[in-house]
Copies of this chain bind each other. A is one copy, B any other.
Amino acid sequence: MTTSREIRLISRPTGMPAPENFELATVDVPEPGAGEVLVRNLWMTVDPYMRGRMNDVKSYVPPFRLGEAMEGGAVGRVEASNDPAFQQGDLVLSMKGWREAFVAPGGQLEKLDTQGLPPQAFLGVAGMPGLTAYVGLLRIAALKEGDVVFVSGAAGAVGSVVCQIAKAKGHKVVGSAGGAEKVAFLKEIGVDHAVDYKAEPNLAKAVLAGAPDGIDVYFDNVGGEHLEAALTAARFKARFAICGMISQYNATEPPAGPRNLALMIGKNIRMEGFIVSFNADMKADFVRDLSQWVSEGKVTWRETVKEGIEQAPDAFLGLFSGENLGKMLVKLA
Protein backbone atom coordinates (compact mmCIF):
# COMPACT_ATOMS: atom_id res chain seq x y z
CA MET A 1 0.00 0.00 0.00
CA THR A 2 1.28 3.43 -0.97
CA THR A 3 0.70 6.31 1.42
CA SER A 4 0.72 9.99 0.55
CA ARG A 5 0.88 13.15 2.56
CA GLU A 6 -1.36 15.94 1.38
CA ILE A 7 -2.17 19.53 2.28
CA ARG A 8 -5.79 20.33 3.04
CA LEU A 9 -7.50 23.67 3.42
CA ILE A 10 -9.28 23.43 6.78
CA SER A 11 -10.52 27.02 7.17
CA ARG A 12 -11.01 29.91 4.80
CA PRO A 13 -8.52 32.74 5.32
CA THR A 14 -9.61 36.30 5.96
CA GLY A 15 -6.96 38.54 4.53
CA MET A 16 -3.49 37.05 4.49
CA PRO A 17 -3.66 33.25 4.87
CA ALA A 18 -1.90 31.72 7.88
CA PRO A 19 -0.40 28.27 8.54
CA GLU A 20 -3.49 27.46 10.65
CA ASN A 21 -5.64 27.48 7.51
CA PHE A 22 -3.81 24.34 6.34
CA GLU A 23 -3.47 20.79 7.60
CA LEU A 24 -0.96 18.09 6.69
CA ALA A 25 -2.65 14.69 6.49
CA THR A 26 -1.51 11.21 5.55
CA VAL A 27 -3.78 9.08 3.38
CA ASP A 28 -3.67 5.63 1.84
CA VAL A 29 -3.42 5.60 -1.93
CA PRO A 30 -5.32 2.65 -3.45
CA GLU A 31 -3.99 0.38 -6.17
CA PRO A 32 -4.83 1.76 -9.62
CA GLY A 33 -8.02 0.27 -11.08
CA ALA A 34 -8.88 -0.21 -14.74
CA GLY A 35 -7.76 2.80 -16.79
CA GLU A 36 -6.10 4.33 -13.76
CA VAL A 37 -2.53 5.38 -13.11
CA LEU A 38 -0.51 5.64 -9.89
CA VAL A 39 1.70 8.72 -9.88
CA ARG A 40 4.35 9.96 -7.44
CA ASN A 41 4.72 13.74 -7.65
CA LEU A 42 8.21 15.16 -8.10
CA TRP A 43 7.33 18.86 -8.07
CA MET A 44 4.31 21.00 -7.30
CA THR A 45 3.65 24.63 -8.00
CA VAL A 46 2.17 27.37 -5.84
CA ASP A 47 0.62 30.30 -7.70
CA PRO A 48 -1.06 33.56 -6.67
CA TYR A 49 -4.36 32.60 -8.33
CA MET A 50 -4.79 29.89 -5.68
CA ARG A 51 -5.61 32.59 -3.13
CA GLY A 52 -8.87 33.27 -4.97
CA ARG A 53 -9.83 29.60 -4.76
CA MET A 54 -9.60 29.78 -0.97
CA ASN A 55 -12.61 32.12 -0.88
CA ASP A 56 -16.08 30.66 -1.06
CA VAL A 57 -17.17 32.70 -4.09
CA LYS A 58 -18.18 31.90 -7.62
CA SER A 59 -15.36 32.50 -10.08
CA TYR A 60 -13.83 30.98 -13.17
CA VAL A 61 -12.66 28.01 -11.10
CA PRO A 62 -14.61 26.52 -8.19
CA PRO A 63 -13.37 27.21 -4.65
CA PHE A 64 -11.23 24.66 -2.79
CA ARG A 65 -13.37 22.55 -0.51
CA LEU A 66 -12.70 22.58 3.21
CA GLY A 67 -11.20 19.39 4.61
CA GLU A 68 -10.02 18.21 1.20
CA ALA A 69 -6.60 18.29 -0.42
CA MET A 70 -6.13 21.36 -2.58
CA GLU A 71 -5.36 21.17 -6.28
CA GLY A 72 -2.72 22.69 -8.51
CA GLY A 73 -0.17 21.91 -11.16
CA ALA A 74 2.29 19.09 -10.49
CA VAL A 75 4.86 17.03 -12.35
CA GLY A 76 5.12 13.37 -11.33
CA ARG A 77 6.42 10.02 -12.38
CA VAL A 78 4.20 7.03 -13.18
CA GLU A 79 4.74 4.17 -10.74
CA ALA A 80 2.06 1.81 -12.07
CA SER A 81 -0.37 2.11 -14.93
CA ASN A 82 -3.54 0.38 -16.06
CA ASP A 83 -3.92 2.86 -18.91
CA PRO A 84 -2.06 1.76 -22.06
CA ALA A 85 -1.23 5.41 -22.80
CA PHE A 86 1.14 5.54 -19.79
CA GLN A 87 4.14 3.41 -18.84
CA GLN A 88 5.96 3.11 -15.56
CA GLY A 89 8.61 5.84 -15.46
CA ASP A 90 6.71 8.30 -17.68
CA LEU A 91 6.72 11.91 -16.57
CA VAL A 92 3.23 13.40 -16.33
CA LEU A 93 1.67 16.80 -15.72
CA SER A 94 -1.51 16.93 -13.67
CA MET A 95 -3.62 19.23 -11.52
CA LYS A 96 -3.07 16.85 -8.58
CA GLY A 97 -0.59 18.98 -6.72
CA TRP A 98 -0.52 19.53 -2.93
CA ARG A 99 0.04 15.76 -2.44
CA GLU A 100 2.89 13.29 -2.75
CA ALA A 101 1.18 10.50 -4.67
CA PHE A 102 -2.22 9.78 -6.17
CA VAL A 103 -4.26 7.49 -8.36
CA ALA A 104 -6.24 9.03 -11.21
CA PRO A 105 -7.76 8.07 -14.55
CA GLY A 106 -5.23 8.44 -17.35
CA GLY A 107 -7.47 11.06 -18.92
CA GLN A 108 -6.56 13.48 -16.12
CA LEU A 109 -2.85 13.29 -16.96
CA GLU A 110 -0.71 14.82 -19.67
CA LYS A 111 2.39 12.92 -20.75
CA LEU A 112 5.40 15.17 -20.60
CA ASP A 113 8.01 15.33 -23.33
CA THR A 114 10.56 17.57 -21.63
CA GLN A 115 12.53 18.29 -24.80
CA GLY A 116 15.68 18.58 -22.74
CA LEU A 117 14.24 20.98 -20.16
CA PRO A 118 14.10 20.01 -16.48
CA PRO A 119 10.63 18.63 -15.69
CA GLN A 120 9.77 21.40 -13.23
CA ALA A 121 10.17 23.97 -16.01
CA PHE A 122 6.75 22.81 -17.15
CA LEU A 123 5.30 24.34 -13.99
CA GLY A 124 6.95 27.64 -14.82
CA VAL A 125 8.67 29.03 -17.88
CA ALA A 126 7.43 26.23 -20.17
CA GLY A 127 4.08 25.80 -18.44
CA MET A 128 1.08 27.82 -17.41
CA PRO A 129 3.03 30.90 -16.21
CA GLY A 130 5.06 31.02 -19.43
CA LEU A 131 1.95 30.63 -21.57
CA THR A 132 0.28 33.37 -19.50
CA ALA A 133 3.13 35.72 -20.37
CA TYR A 134 2.91 34.81 -24.05
CA VAL A 135 -0.89 35.17 -24.28
CA GLY A 136 -0.98 38.40 -22.30
CA LEU A 137 1.78 40.11 -24.21
CA LEU A 138 1.05 38.95 -27.74
CA ARG A 139 -2.74 38.51 -27.79
CA ILE A 140 -4.20 40.66 -25.01
CA ALA A 141 -1.79 43.59 -25.22
CA ALA A 142 -1.33 42.97 -28.95
CA LEU A 143 2.37 43.85 -28.79
CA LYS A 144 3.51 45.58 -31.96
CA GLU A 145 6.74 46.97 -33.32
CA GLY A 146 8.20 49.89 -31.43
CA ASP A 147 6.11 49.43 -28.28
CA VAL A 148 7.70 50.32 -24.96
CA VAL A 149 6.67 47.69 -22.41
CA PHE A 150 6.24 48.08 -18.66
CA VAL A 151 5.98 44.93 -16.51
CA SER A 152 5.14 44.73 -12.81
CA GLY A 153 6.09 41.68 -10.79
CA ALA A 154 8.85 41.52 -13.38
CA ALA A 155 11.06 39.08 -11.47
CA GLY A 156 8.26 36.58 -10.94
CA ALA A 157 7.33 33.46 -12.84
CA VAL A 158 5.10 35.28 -15.33
CA GLY A 159 6.73 38.71 -15.33
CA SER A 160 10.24 37.47 -16.03
CA VAL A 161 9.02 35.65 -19.13
CA VAL A 162 7.10 38.75 -20.28
CA CYS A 163 10.31 40.81 -20.00
CA GLN A 164 12.31 38.28 -21.98
CA ILE A 165 9.75 37.76 -24.74
CA ALA A 166 9.55 41.52 -25.18
CA LYS A 167 13.35 41.76 -25.29
CA ALA A 168 13.58 38.82 -27.71
CA LYS A 169 11.25 40.76 -29.98
CA GLY A 170 13.41 43.87 -29.78
CA HIS A 171 11.38 46.05 -27.41
CA LYS A 172 12.42 48.48 -24.74
CA VAL A 173 11.36 47.05 -21.37
CA VAL A 174 10.84 48.69 -18.00
CA GLY A 175 10.43 46.17 -15.19
CA SER A 176 9.42 46.68 -11.58
CA ALA A 177 10.27 44.35 -8.70
CA GLY A 178 11.02 44.62 -4.99
CA GLY A 179 14.59 44.63 -3.71
CA ALA A 180 18.16 44.69 -4.96
CA GLU A 181 18.42 40.96 -5.72
CA LYS A 182 15.42 41.07 -8.04
CA VAL A 183 16.58 44.24 -9.71
CA ALA A 184 19.94 42.56 -10.37
CA PHE A 185 18.08 39.61 -11.93
CA LEU A 186 16.08 41.98 -14.16
CA LYS A 187 19.31 43.49 -15.43
CA GLU A 188 20.71 40.01 -16.07
CA ILE A 189 17.76 39.15 -18.29
CA GLY A 190 18.20 42.34 -20.27
CA VAL A 191 15.52 44.65 -18.85
CA ASP A 192 16.43 48.16 -19.98
CA HIS A 193 15.28 49.97 -16.87
CA ALA A 194 14.69 48.13 -13.61
CA VAL A 195 12.62 49.85 -10.92
CA ASP A 196 12.91 48.77 -7.28
CA TYR A 197 9.41 49.76 -6.25
CA LYS A 198 10.19 49.39 -2.57
CA ALA A 199 12.82 52.12 -2.87
CA GLU A 200 10.81 54.53 -5.02
CA PRO A 201 8.62 57.21 -3.45
CA ASN A 202 7.02 58.00 -6.82
CA LEU A 203 6.46 54.96 -8.97
CA ALA A 204 5.14 56.80 -12.05
CA LYS A 205 8.20 59.03 -12.03
CA ALA A 206 10.46 56.00 -11.72
CA VAL A 207 8.78 54.36 -14.72
CA LEU A 208 8.99 57.54 -16.77
CA ALA A 209 12.70 57.81 -15.92
CA GLY A 210 13.14 54.65 -17.97
CA ALA A 211 10.59 55.53 -20.63
CA PRO A 212 10.61 59.31 -20.99
CA ASP A 213 8.06 59.25 -23.83
CA GLY A 214 5.74 56.94 -21.93
CA ILE A 215 4.73 53.31 -22.22
CA ASP A 216 2.64 51.58 -24.88
CA VAL A 217 2.05 48.27 -23.13
CA TYR A 218 1.58 47.48 -19.46
CA PHE A 219 1.58 43.91 -18.21
CA ASP A 220 -0.04 44.00 -14.78
CA ASN A 221 0.68 41.32 -12.20
CA VAL A 222 0.30 43.59 -9.22
CA GLY A 223 -2.56 46.11 -9.48
CA GLY A 224 -2.93 48.99 -7.02
CA GLU A 225 -0.18 51.60 -7.17
CA HIS A 226 1.49 49.91 -10.10
CA LEU A 227 -1.64 50.18 -12.20
CA GLU A 228 -1.99 53.81 -11.19
CA ALA A 229 1.61 54.52 -12.20
CA ALA A 230 1.06 52.77 -15.52
CA LEU A 231 -1.99 54.95 -16.26
CA THR A 232 0.08 58.05 -15.56
CA ALA A 233 2.97 56.84 -17.73
CA ALA A 234 0.78 55.54 -20.56
CA ARG A 235 0.99 56.90 -24.03
CA PHE A 236 -1.94 57.43 -26.41
CA LYS A 237 -3.59 54.11 -27.33
CA ALA A 238 -1.66 52.14 -24.69
CA ARG A 239 -2.85 48.58 -24.04
CA PHE A 240 -2.87 47.03 -20.57
CA ALA A 241 -2.94 43.25 -20.12
CA ILE A 242 -4.46 42.74 -16.69
CA CYS A 243 -3.10 39.38 -15.61
CA GLY A 244 -3.09 39.60 -11.84
CA MET A 245 -3.38 42.01 -8.92
CA ILE A 246 -1.40 40.26 -6.20
CA SER A 247 -1.32 43.46 -4.13
CA GLN A 248 -5.04 43.06 -3.54
CA TYR A 249 -5.66 39.33 -3.10
CA ASN A 250 -5.45 39.46 0.67
CA ALA A 251 -7.31 42.73 1.13
CA THR A 252 -9.96 42.52 3.85
CA GLU A 253 -11.51 45.83 2.85
CA PRO A 254 -12.28 46.43 -0.82
CA PRO A 255 -9.06 48.07 -2.02
CA ALA A 256 -9.29 51.51 -3.59
CA GLY A 257 -8.88 51.34 -7.34
CA PRO A 258 -6.53 53.54 -9.33
CA ARG A 259 -7.44 57.17 -8.68
CA ASN A 260 -6.52 58.26 -12.19
CA LEU A 261 -8.65 55.85 -14.20
CA ALA A 262 -10.24 58.77 -16.08
CA LEU A 263 -6.91 59.08 -17.93
CA MET A 264 -8.17 56.10 -19.95
CA ILE A 265 -10.47 58.45 -21.83
CA GLY A 266 -8.13 61.14 -23.11
CA LYS A 267 -5.37 58.61 -23.77
CA ASN A 268 -7.73 56.09 -25.39
CA ILE A 269 -6.29 53.31 -23.24
CA ARG A 270 -7.51 49.74 -23.50
CA MET A 271 -7.35 47.51 -20.39
CA GLU A 272 -8.20 43.86 -20.70
CA GLY A 273 -8.33 41.17 -18.04
CA PHE A 274 -7.59 37.62 -19.03
CA ILE A 275 -7.27 34.05 -17.83
CA VAL A 276 -4.78 31.85 -19.62
CA SER A 277 -7.05 28.82 -19.73
CA PHE A 278 -9.38 30.53 -22.20
CA ASN A 279 -6.44 30.96 -24.57
CA ALA A 280 -5.22 27.39 -24.80
CA ASP A 281 -5.29 27.63 -28.60
CA MET A 282 -1.99 29.53 -28.38
CA LYS A 283 -0.19 26.68 -26.63
CA ALA A 284 1.39 25.08 -29.71
CA ASP A 285 2.78 28.42 -30.90
CA PHE A 286 4.03 29.13 -27.40
CA VAL A 287 5.90 25.83 -27.10
CA ARG A 288 7.49 26.32 -30.53
CA ASP A 289 8.58 29.92 -29.83
CA LEU A 290 9.69 29.25 -26.26
CA SER A 291 11.85 26.28 -27.28
CA GLN A 292 13.56 28.43 -29.84
CA TRP A 293 14.11 31.33 -27.44
CA VAL A 294 15.50 29.00 -24.78
CA SER A 295 17.84 27.33 -27.27
CA GLU A 296 19.06 30.74 -28.42
CA GLY A 297 19.65 31.81 -24.84
CA LYS A 298 17.02 34.54 -25.14
CA VAL A 299 14.81 33.16 -22.39
CA THR A 300 16.11 31.83 -19.11
CA TRP A 301 14.52 31.42 -15.68
CA ARG A 302 15.05 31.24 -11.96
CA GLU A 303 13.45 29.02 -9.36
CA THR A 304 12.88 29.41 -5.66
CA VAL A 305 12.55 25.91 -4.25
CA LYS A 306 11.17 24.64 -0.95
CA GLU A 307 11.60 20.95 -0.15
CA GLY A 308 8.92 18.63 1.13
CA ILE A 309 5.14 18.71 1.06
CA GLU A 310 5.12 20.14 4.60
CA GLN A 311 6.73 23.31 3.16
CA ALA A 312 3.96 23.87 0.60
CA PRO A 313 1.86 26.30 2.71
CA ASP A 314 4.99 28.35 3.49
CA ALA A 315 5.90 28.41 -0.17
CA PHE A 316 2.43 29.65 -1.01
CA LEU A 317 2.48 32.32 1.71
CA GLY A 318 5.91 33.44 0.50
CA LEU A 319 4.36 34.57 -2.80
CA PHE A 320 2.64 37.44 -1.01
CA SER A 321 5.77 38.73 0.67
CA GLY A 322 7.68 38.48 -2.61
CA GLU A 323 9.96 35.74 -1.25
CA ASN A 324 10.32 34.17 -4.68
CA LEU A 325 12.77 35.10 -7.38
CA GLY A 326 11.27 33.53 -10.49
CA LYS A 327 9.06 30.48 -10.06
CA MET A 328 8.16 29.35 -6.55
CA LEU A 329 8.20 25.54 -6.47
CA VAL A 330 7.97 22.74 -3.95
CA LYS A 331 10.17 19.69 -4.53
CA LEU A 332 8.34 16.59 -3.37
CA ALA A 333 10.67 13.76 -4.38
- Partner of A242 from B257, B258, B264 at Cβ < 8 Å: B264
Residue A106 is within 8 A (CB to CB) of chain B in the complex: no
Output the nearest chain B residue to A265 by Cβ-Cβ distance.
B273
* Interface residues in A247-270 (C-beta closer than 8 Å to B): 248-249, 254-270
Residue A271 is within 8 A (CB to CB) of chain B in the complex: yes
Residue A274 is within 8 A (CB to CB) of chain B in the complex: yes
- Partner of A259 from B52, B257, B268 at Cβ < 8 Å: B257
Q: B residues within 8 A CB of A254? A: 259-260
Tell me if B259 and A264 are in contact (CB < 8 A): no
Tell me if A242 and B223 are in contact (CB < 8 A): no
Tell me if B268 and A248 are in contact (CB < 8 A): no
Q: B residues within 8 A CB of A272? A: 264, 268-271
Output the residue of A59, A249, A273 with the most chain B CB within 10 A: A273
Category for how many chain A residues contact B? 35 or more
Residue A69 is within 8 A (CB to CB) of chain B in the complex: no
Q: B residues within 8 A CB of A243? A: 265
Determine the distance from Cα of A278 to Cα of B268 in the docked complex, in whole angstroms.
Answer: 9
Where the two chains meet, the residues of A that have a C-beta atom closer than 8 Å to any C-beta of B are 52, 59-60, 223, 227-228, 236, 242-245, 248-249, 254-275, 278
Tell me if B223 and A266 are in contact (CB < 8 A): no
Tell me if B245 and A265 are in contact (CB < 8 A): yes
Tell me if A244 and B265 are in contact (CB < 8 A): yes
Output the residue of A228, A261, A274 with the most chain B CB within 10 A: A261
Decide yes or no: A259 and B270 within 8 Å by CB, A242-B265, A264-B242 being known contacts. Answer: no
Q: B residues within 8 A CB of A265? A: 242-245, 273-275
Decide yes or no: A264 and B268 within 8 Å by CB, A256-B257, A256-B259, A257-B257 being known contacts. Answer: no
Q: B residues within 8 A CB of A245? A: 261-262, 265
Output the residue of A262, A269, A272 with the most chain B CB within 10 A: A262
Determine the distance from Cα of A249 to Cα of B278 in the docked complex, in whole angstroms.
Answer: 37
Determine the distance from Cα of A254 to Cα of B260 in the docked complex, in whole angstroms.
Answer: 7
Task: Across the A-B interface, give the 6 residue pairs with the lowest CB-CB distance, nearest first.
Answer: A257-B257, A264-B273, A254-B259, A265-B273, A256-B256, A270-B272
Q: B residues within 8 A CB of A269? A: 272-273
- Partner of A266 from B60, B227, B263, B266 at Cβ < 8 Å: B60
Determine the distance from Cα of A267 to Cα of B271 in the docked complex, in whole angstroms.
Answer: 13
Determine the distance from Cα of A275 to Cα of B265 in the docked complex, in whole angstroms.
Answer: 6
Output the nearest chain B residue to A244 by Cβ-Cβ distance.
B265
Q: B residues within 8 A CB of A274? A: 265, 268
